[in-house]
Amino acid sequence: MAGRAVTITGGPFDAIPEGAFGVCLEAASEKAWLADIALPTPDFGLPDPAALRAAVAAALAQLEAEPERPLHVGCRAGIGRTGLFLACLARAAGVEGDPLDYVRRHYLPHAAETEAQQAMARGFTWP
């Protein structure tokens, strides 16, 4: 974000902090109605690639517009789908190297649970 600090959290979407900009990956979340970006993705599954790109672009635009407002990404448990999205967001934000390794170092060591999620995260290109 052009050298500006931003706050990005992940976890269950139902744990979205008050006032956070939300990216919801779990359609059945009780708080899905709070989502600013809805990207319904099956548990252990993959999002539609075009919808993923659009959601990442919208999240980046939000971080640029309001860098002081936290961004929360969540699914049911905040592991697989959330880890995948965070890795794609990291790549789009300019993180060098393997974006999934970055997310595993800074978020959860086992983020992006399935091989397909891991492959999508590592294969994501931007723009």
Whether the pLDDT of residue 19 is over 60: the answer is yes
Indicate the average pLDDT of the chain.
96
pLDDT at res. 118 = 98
Cα–Cα distance for residue pair 71/67, rounded to 1 Å: 9
Whether the pLDDT of residue 2 is over 80: the answer is no
Q: Is residue 65 within 8 Å of residue 2, measured between CB atoms?
A: no
Q: What is the pLDDT of residues 96-113, one digit of tens each?
A: 999 999 999 999 999 999
For residues 18-23, give the mean pLDDT.
Answer: 98
For residues 50-70, give the mean pLDDT.
Answer: 97
Q: What is the pLDDT of residues 70-87, one digit of tens each?
A: 999 999 999 999 999 999
Q: Is residue 112 within 8 Å of residue 80, measured between CB atoms?
A: yes
Token pair 């939000």: residue: 62
Give the pTM: 0.96
pLDDT at res. 4 = 78
Assigned CATH topology for domain 8-123: Protein-Tyrosine Phosphatase; Chain A (3.90.190)
